[in-house]
């Protein structure tokens, strides 16, 4: 039994559920990034605006003090110095020491700087410029590596100009509390969102699993019945396309079966004529006193070829009848399966005896039951035929048939070349001939036996399986199908 090995389909490593979850996480992350970006933008913008307002308001307050004390530059200098010292001490208590915050007060009276240069906190820090500013308002000044946030207030009639300069590094930066405000929701909510997302995707993909399960029943039974429409518009195109494909396959299979049946019927008559004339020629050669030495051998080869062709035609016709369901009503019979099994074994006894094989039948008496007689006969005949062909001369073939609960069990065990475990599923395909290489050249056949058995078992709504045995130690075929004892009256009327 030899056939072309079909590579097994690769196992899918991708997952729709994982894809949906990753898509959900990606969308959530993009949304979060957008919201955080907007939040940071508004935070920095609002921080800059609030800082400018605060500095400008404070500058107006300092300007009022400077206008009152402009007549005494020394008093003005002393007052602004005290205010600057107090503010820097307060800032040092409110913020971390690493911030290096410094507030500088500058005042000009009639264009002359009356405040002393500030005492800078850092050695590399540069003070704000001494030149009086040209306009009031908020501005950011860069002096070397130092950045000053400044607010200018002036009283042009009095000739007084005041500038507040703040070197805080927190301006325009993200503080710890703000960082927690933005990042903590993502850290906390994303894992919590994954759990309902997993349940939602699993629940959402359940209809797809139902369609796959229904398709699997078609694969198991071999039926091409259309799938039922689903209530989900996303799945309906898939169901419709699958139904269209199964309809086209059904039409193609019907044409193929019709062609096989027609060809087999057309070949029956020519083969019968050839066989009849060959048998007449054989009789004539045996009666003749003289004939060529190779004539009898050629005639025997011709008769053997005709016999194999005739057997192949009968197998094709039997397969066509099983596939087309021609035995559904006419072959439903109430019968004793044990007795019928013994009769089919007796029918194969001459072939086994010619090969020196022993047939052992274990079929205890059991009640009559209803079964499709042609399908059961096809199972027994083809299993016995395979066992006889692939068994070595002098071996033993065991046949067991019994009733177990509501099931009928048929087991055929031989001592032939066997079938490897990896090839057992493929052995049921048409024209598959699997087995030891030495047996393939010696055993004639078309590889239809197990395929016919599978078709017959499906008609009986049963299961067939091959035993997991090593090559060279024989093959065990087990057939189990339910027996409908409630159909006895229907069978007796048929």
State the CATH number of the domain containing residue 317: 1.10.287
- For the chain, the domain total comes to 3
Structural domain including 71 reads 18-177
Query: For residue 1, is it within any domain?
Result: no
Asked if 280 and 366 sit in the same domain, the reply is no
Asked if 382 and 345 sit in the same domain, the reply is yes
Asked if 353 and 462 sit in the same domain, the reply is yes
**Pairwise CA distance, residues 160 & 29, whole Å:** 54
Q: Are 1 and 440 in contact (CB under 8 A)?
A: yes
**Pairwise CA distance, residues 237 & 251, whole Å:** 21
Query: For residue 11, is it within any domain?
Result: no
Name the pairing type of β-strands 358-362 and 396-404. parallel
Q: How far is CA 13 from CA 10, 206, 210, 306, in A?
A: 9, 19, 20, 52
Asked if 308 and 342 sit in the same domain, the reply is no
Confidence at residue 219, expressed as pLDDT on a 0 to 100 scale: 75
Find the angle CA(56)-CA(60)-CA(64) to the nearest 5 degrees: 165
In what helix (H) or strand (E) does residue 334 lie, and over which residues does it extend?
strand 332-335
Nearest CA to 432 out of 424, 284, 70 is that of 424
Nearest CA to 107 out of 141, 83, 138 is that of 83
Asked if 102 and 144 sit in the same domain, the reply is yes
**Pairwise CA distance, residues 494 & 481, whole Å:** 21
Query: For residue 413, is it within any domain?
Result: yes
| Residue where one domain finishes, among candidates 324, 344, 378 | 324
**Pairwise CA distance, residues 418 & 422, whole Å:** 12
Name 410's bridge partners. Answer: 401, 479
**Pairwise CA distance, residues 418 & 207, whole Å:** 42
**Pairwise CA distance, residues 67 & 130, whole Å:** 19
Helices (H) and strands (E) in the chain, counts: 12, 12
Query: For residue 206, is it within any domain?
Result: no
Residues in CB range of 427: below 8 A, 6 or more apart:
1, 419, 434, 450, 466
| Residue where one domain finishes, among candidates 324, 339, 361 | 324
In what helix (H) or strand (E) does residue 402 lie, and over which residues does it extend?
strand 396-404
Asked if 263 and 345 sit in the same domain, the reply is no
The DSSP letter of residue 8 is: P
Query: For residue 10, is it within any domain?
Result: no
Asked if 344 and 434 sit in the same domain, the reply is yes
| Residue where one domain finishes, among candidates 324, 353, 385 | 324
Confidence at residue 218, expressed as pLDDT on a 0 to 100 scale: 78
Query: For residue 374, is it within any domain?
Result: yes
Confidence at residue 91, expressed as pLDDT on a 0 to 100 scale: 62
Confidence at residue 161, expressed as pLDDT on a 0 to 100 scale: 92
Asked if 25 and 167 sit in the same domain, the reply is yes
Reported for 108-117, long-range contacts at CB under 8 A and 24+ positions apart, including other chains, are 108/132, 108/160, 108/161, 108/162, 109/66, 109/70, 109/73, 109/76, 109/159, 109/160, 110/159, 111/159, 114/73, 114/76, 114/77, 115/76, 115/77, 115/80, 115/81, 116/77, 116/81
* Residue found under tokens 């107090």: 86
Query: For residue 109, is it within any domain?
Result: yes
Confidence at residue 100, expressed as pLDDT on a 0 to 100 scale: 55
Q: pLDDT tens per residue, the chain (494 residues)?
A: 333 344 444 555 677 777 888 888 888 878 878 877 787 777 777 777 888 888 899 889 888 988 888 888 888 888 888 888 777 777 665 544 444 567 888 899 988 888 888 777 677 788 888 888 888 999 888 888 888 889 999 998 888 999 988 886 555 555 555 566 667 776 777 777 778 888 888 888 888 888 888 888 877 766 777 888 888 888 888 888 888 888 888 787 777 766 666 666 556 666 677 767 677 777 776 666 666 666 666 666 676 666 666 666 666 666 666 655 544 444 677 888 888 888 888 888 888 888 888 888 888 877 777 778 778 888 888 888 888 888 888 888 999 988 887 788 899 988 887 777 777 777 777 666 665 444 444 555 566 778 778 878 887 888 888 876 555 678 888 998 887 644 544 444 44
**Pairwise CA distance, residues 201 & 15, whole Å:** 11
Asked if 396 and 447 sit in the same domain, the reply is yes
Structure tokens at 253: 């299979």
Alpha-helix runs per DSSP H in 436-487: 437-442, 449-459
Asked if 227 and 250 sit in the same domain, the reply is yes
Query: For residue 348, is it within any domain?
Result: yes
Asked if 320 and 353 sit in the same domain, the reply is no
Q: Are 17 and 201 in contact (CB under 8 A)?
A: yes
Asked if 49 and 156 sit in the same domain, the reply is yes
């Amino acid at each position: 039994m030899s056939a072309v090995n079909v590579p097994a389909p690769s196992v899918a490593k991708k997952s729709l559920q994982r894809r949906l979850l990753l898509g959900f996480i990606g969308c959530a992350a993009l949304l979060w990034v957008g919201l955080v970006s907007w939040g940071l933008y508004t935070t920095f913008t609002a921080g800059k605006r609030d800082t400018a307002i605060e500095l400008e308001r404070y500058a107006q307050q300092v300007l009022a003090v400077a206008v009152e004390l402009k007549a005494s530059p020394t008093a003005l200098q002393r007052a602004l110095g005290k205010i600057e010292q107090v503010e820097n001490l307060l800032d040092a208590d409110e913020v971390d020491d690493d911030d290096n915050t410094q507030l500088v007060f500058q005042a000009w009276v009639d264009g002359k700087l009356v405040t002393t240069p500030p005492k800078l906190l850092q050695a590399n820090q540069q003070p704000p410029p001494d030149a009086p500013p040209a306009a009031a308002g908020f501005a950011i000044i860069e002096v070397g590596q130092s950045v000053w946030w400044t607010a200018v207030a002036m009283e042009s009639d009095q000739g007084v100009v005041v500038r507040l300069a703040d070197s805080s590094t927190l301006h325009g930066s993200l503080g710890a509390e703000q960082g927690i405000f933005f990042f903590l929701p993502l850290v906390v909510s994303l894992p919590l969102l994954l759990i309902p997302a997993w349940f939602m995707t699993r629940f959402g993909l359940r209809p797809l699993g139902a369609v796959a399960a229904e398709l699997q029943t078609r694969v198991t039974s071999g039926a091409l019945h259309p799938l039922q429409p689903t209530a989900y518009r996303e799945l309906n195109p898939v169901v419709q396309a699958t139904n269209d494909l199964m309809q086209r396959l059904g039409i193609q299979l019907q044409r193929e079966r019709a062609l096989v049946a027609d060809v087999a019927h057309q070949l029956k008559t020519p083969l019968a004529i050839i066989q009849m004339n060959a048998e007449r020629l054989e009789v004539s050669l045996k009666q003749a006193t003289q004939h060529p030495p190779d004539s009898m051998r050629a005639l025997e080869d011709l008769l053997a070829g005709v016999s194999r062709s005739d057997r192949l035609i009968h197998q094709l016709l039997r397969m066509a009848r099983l596939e087309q369901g021609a035995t559904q009503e006419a072959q439903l019979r109430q019968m004793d399966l044990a007795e019928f099994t013994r009769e089919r074994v007796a029918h194969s006894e001459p072939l086994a005896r010619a090969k020196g094989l022993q047939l052992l039948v274990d079929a205890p008496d059991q009640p009559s039951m209803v079964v499709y007689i042609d399908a059961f006969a096809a199972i027994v005949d083809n299993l016995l035929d395979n066992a006889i062909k692939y068994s070595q001369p002098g071996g033993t073939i065991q046949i067991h048939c019994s009733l177990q609960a509501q099931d009928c069990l048929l087991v055929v065990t031989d001592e032939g070349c066997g079938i490897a475990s990896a090839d057992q599923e493929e052995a049921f395909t048409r024209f598959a001939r699997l087995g030891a290489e030495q047996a393939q050249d010696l055993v004639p056949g078309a590889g239809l036996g197990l395929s016919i058995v599978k078709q017959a078992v499906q008609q009986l709504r049963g299961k067939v399986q091959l035993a997991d045995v090593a090559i060279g130690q024989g093959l065990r075929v087990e057939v189990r199908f339910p027996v409908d004892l409630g159909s006895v009256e229907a069978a007796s009327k048929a």
